[in-house]
Amino acid sequence: EAQLVEFGGGLVQPGGSLRLSCEDSGFTFGSSSMNWVRQAPGKGLEWVSYINPGGSVTYYADFVKGRFTISRDNAKNSLYLQMSSLRAEDTAVYYCVREVPRCCHYMDVWGKGTTVTVSS
């Protein structure tokens, strides 16, 4: 089964920026819709962003719109999340998630996540 591995988490000051990456070891990345989903410590799941297989369509949760940018490089089997103007409430584990194949915005394969901590 395809494996998703996230990179790039860490400690950043409020107002700072961070770029998350996700590498897909499978063979179908270029035909897969991808998402970022986050989970704050001890809290529930929050959908963050979506990108279609070609990278031409993106959507964002209201709480990150204008601050985060999702992108992908299919030649590198990689997904990215550029985060700026970070706030304490952005502290969470960020998961790279592949949607159910040939379907419809349900989450199928999850990476193990990368932790982002926003603190001074």
Partner 1 sequence: IVLTQSPGTLSLSPGERATLSCRASQSVSSYLAWYQQKPGQTPRLLIYDASNRATGIPARFSGSGSGTDFTLTISSLEPEDFAVYYCQQRGAWPLTFGGGTRVEIK
Q: Does 107 bind partner 1 (CB under 8 A)?
A: yes
CB of 13 to partner 1, least distance (A): 27
> Does 113 contact partner 1 by CB under 8 A?
yes
Give one DSSP letter per residue of 4-29, joined into a string.
Answer: EEEE--EEE-TT--EEEEEEE-SS-G
According to DSSP, the residues that pair with 21 across neighbouring strands are 7, 80
Contacts of 13 (CB under 8 A, 6+ apart): 86, 118, 119, 120
CB nearer partner 1, residue 4 or residue 12: 4
Q: Please give the Cα distance from 25 to 47 (Å, whole number).
A: 23
Nearer to partner 1, 2 or 107 (CB): 107
> What are the φ and ψ backbone dihedral angles of 81, each rounded to 5 degrees?
-140, 110
Q: For residues 46 and 12, give the distance between their C-alpha atoms in angstroms, rounded to a whole number.
A: 20
Q: Is 40 in the site for partner 1 (CB under 8 A)?
A: no
Told to check if 105 binds partner 1 by CB under 8 A, we report: yes
Q: Which one of 11-19, 22-30, 58-66, 73-81 is the stretch in contact with partner 1 (CB under 8 A)?
A: 58-66
Is 95 among the residues that bind partner 1 (CB under 8 A)? yes
Residue numbers of the site for partner 1 (CB under 8 A)? 35, 37, 44-47, 50, 59-62, 95, 100, 103-108, 110-113
